Structure 1
Amino acid sequence: MRDYQWLYQYCLNRFGSVEALEARLPQPKSPEELRALGDDRYLSIISLRIFRAGLKHSLVDAKWPAFEEVFFGFDPHKVVLMGAEHLERLMHDERLIRHLAKLKSVPRNAQFILDVAREKGSFGALIADWPVSDIVGLWKYLGKHGTQLGGLSAPRFLRMVGKDTFIPTDDVVAALKAQGIIDKAPTSQKELAAVQAAFNEWRAQSGRPLCQLSTLLAHTVNH
């Protein structure tokens, strides 16, 4: 695989200046910021990610104030009490995206957040303290214990809340293939470990967060 210096120089040549390149790179939140985010906000963002999946983001975002209203501001202690009849009633609310499986995911993920908070003190503590050197392990944890957080939903949720992560988008996967790290989209533990190891090496070489390395890597794919 190519080293970080090649990766940065390739992108610098593409965008012409350090300023233009740096402006494209995301900034992760600090552990303190992640820990300070309330459990209600984590539940809201998890739910937003789930409803965005497969739909136009602007459509979902426009409806989100109504979701905040009907789900009690995503207070997990209140949402977890919502039973099947309550969710069936929401299926008749025209302000919402009426997708029953996705609606059902909200109280289930409220229970997940409460379970984590009982063990860790808050859901934010889990997110803040998880080492980025094993970010794929956090994806796996969220996918296993949460509802509808498989595939790219876990890394996209983490990016939304500001947790440092790479995302195996089509461009990132194409770049990883070009670097000889994988030969297809990573799904197995072995493939994910290989990708994590590559990002850890670039991180050690550069001191940059995973989200920036992921963005740089995506820009090495020609369109």
Structure 2
Amino acid sequence: MQDYKWLNEYCLNRFGSAAALEAHLPSPATPRRLEAISNDRYLSTLALRVFRAGLKHSLVDAKWPAFEQVFFGFDPEKVVLMGADHLERLMQDARIIRHLGKLKSVPRNAQLILDIAHEYGSFGHFIAQWPVTDIVGLWRYLAKHGNQLGGLSAPRFLRMVGKDTFIPTYDVVAALNAQNIVEKVPSSQRDQAAVQAAFNEWHEQSGRPMCQLSMMLAYTVNH
């Protein structure tokens, strides 16, 4: 695989200057910021990610105020009490997206947040303290213990709340393939470990956040 020096020079050549490159790169939230996010806002973002999957984001976002209303502001203590009858009634509410599987995921993920908050003090603390050098481990944890958080949903959720993570998008996977790191989307633990190791190496060489390295890597194939 190429080292960070090659990656940086490639991106500098593409954008013409360091300032232009920096303007196109995201910045992760600080641990303090992640800890300050309340459990209800984490649940809202988690649900938003689940409903965005496979749908036009603008369509989902336009309906989100109604979602906030019918899910009690995404207070996990209230949402976790929503039973099957309540969810069936929501299937008749035209203001929201009536997908029963995704609706069921909300109280299930509310339980996830409450369980983690009970153990760690808050969901935000749990997210903040997870090391970025094993961010794929956090993906797997959320996919295993949450609902409808497989595939790219966990890393995209983490990016939405500001947790530093790379995301194996089409362009990133193509770039990883070009460097003989993985051949396809890293769904197995072996492939995820290989990708994590590569990002850890670039992270150590550069000191850059994973989200910036991820985007820089995508720029090497996205013209």
Instruction: Give your verdict on TM over 0.5.
Output: yes
CA distance in 2, matches of 1:211, 1:180: 21
Deviation at 1:208, TM superposition (A): 0.2
Structure 1 stretches of 4+ moved >4 Å? none
Which amino acid in 1 is paired with 2:26?
Answer: P
Aligned residues: 223
The C-alpha deviation readout for 1:70-101, integer Å capped at 9, x for no partner, is 10000000000111111111111111000000
The C-alpha deviation readout for 1:42-89, integer Å capped at 9, x for no partner, is 000000000000000000001000000110000000000111111111
CA distance in 2, matches of 1:204, 1:134: 13
CA distance in 2, matches of 1:58, 1:191: 32
CA distance in 2, matches of 1:66, 1:29: 28
Structure 1: any 5+ residue segments left out of the alignment? none
CA distance in 2, matches of 1:153, 1:200: 22
Note the 1:136-175 alignment, pairs <5 A.
136-175=136-175
Task: Specify the alignment match of 1:88 in structure 2.
Answer: 88
CA contact (8 A) 2:11 2:21 kept: yes
Task: Specify the alignment match of 1:209 in structure 2.
Answer: 209
CA contact (8 A) 2:40 2:73 kept: yes
Structure 2: any 5+ residue segments left out of the alignment? none
The C-alpha deviation readout for 1:185-214, integer Å capped at 9, x for no partner, is 211111110100000000000000000000
CA contact (8 A) 2:43 2:109 kept: yes
Task: Specify the alignment match of 2:59 in structure 1.
Answer: 59
CA distance in 2, matches of 1:185, 1:120: 31
Deviation at 1:184, TM superposition (A): 1.8
- 2:96 counterpart of 1:99: no
CA distance in 2, matches of 1:197, 1:88: 45
Task: Specify the alignment match of 1:48 in structure 2.
Answer: 48
Deviation at 1:222, TM superposition (A): 4.3
Task: Specify the alignment match of 1:37 in structure 2.
Answer: 37
